Amino acid sequence: MATGTAENSNGDQQHEPDSTLASIQLALFNWLADWGAVAIDCVVAVGELTLFAWRTIVWTFGRLPKRETLLPSFYQVGVMSLPVVALTGTFIGMVLAVQSYYQFRELGLETRLGAVINMSLVRELGPVLAATMLAGRVGSAMAAELGTMRVTEQIDALTSMGANPIHYLVVPRVLAMLLLIPALTVMADFMGFVGGYFYSVIIIGIDKHFYLYNSQVFVGSWDIFCGLFKSIFFGGVIALVSCHQGFYCTAGAEGVGKAATAAFVYSFVMILVIDLILNIGLERVYMALWPDAMVSIGGG
């Protein structure tokens, strides 16, 4: 009996490493399978978005939509977005003034507030702010509208009547976003200037001549061009991603909600990625055009 018990215990000890190795292999296989599925989903999503963008571009240059389909999109993107963009731009300018003042005061450079506030607004915060507001307000609405039309089979009805849904539904929204986001960026920049000037000059008491002079010296036409140039890419990405999410929305109210949420999240992430890429590219273009350009305090 003792010998049999010892043999059984030895057999159990021999099987334990085998079972542990099998568990590790199974866990590794499941981990690879999960990440492989995620990678495949990402590749499929990128491919679908690329094809969707290509069809949109073809229809945009092939035949412009009618005025009655363009005007509602222009109104939704432009007119309805003005208040939120202007209000947010004003407070962003004031927040920049608050944060920059206490840091520059320690260095004795508080008269340079105009330069840092307006440079930050024109190059980065203005375009990104306007794009973020549009992604949250307009992009989500686009995804919800098209998603509802997909769920209620209105898009299928357009196709059955011989109308191309991309030309009729997507192209007007893309054109409205591309054409109006530069204007909204200018509005965000201007209201940021107003907010920064109000807090710096009126509340803090910075000399307005130094404030305006430094703003004029350090903010040039290239900075304004970079901000507006980036905004066009932001607008195109927001419109395409939002329309794509709504166009291929899953069935049910839950699918519409997921499409609206995904439209904002994906648009915001892509805004940041494109902003980084364009900043690197524009900096290299600037150095190629003006290789001897150097940043000097007090000089443009």
186-241 residue pLDDT tens: 999 999 999 999 988 888 888 888 888 888 888 888 999 999 999 999 999 999 99
Q: How far apart are CA 155 and CA 81, in angstroms?
A: 26
Contact 246, 263 (CB under 8 A): yes
Q: What's the pLDDT tens digit per position in 84-100?
A: 999 999 999 999 888 88
- Res 288: pLDDT: 87
User: What gap in Å lies between CA 121 and CA 219, rounded to an integer?
Assistant: 10
> Token pair for residue 221?
């036409």
Q: What is the pLDDT of residue 16?
A: 58
As averages over each run of 10 residues, the pLDDT of the chain (300 residues) reads: 50 59 79 83 82 87 82 90 92 89 77 84 91 92 92 87 87 93 94 91 85 85 92 95 90 86 93 94 89 52
What is the per-residue pLDDT for 234? 96
Tell me what pLDDT residue 17 has: 61
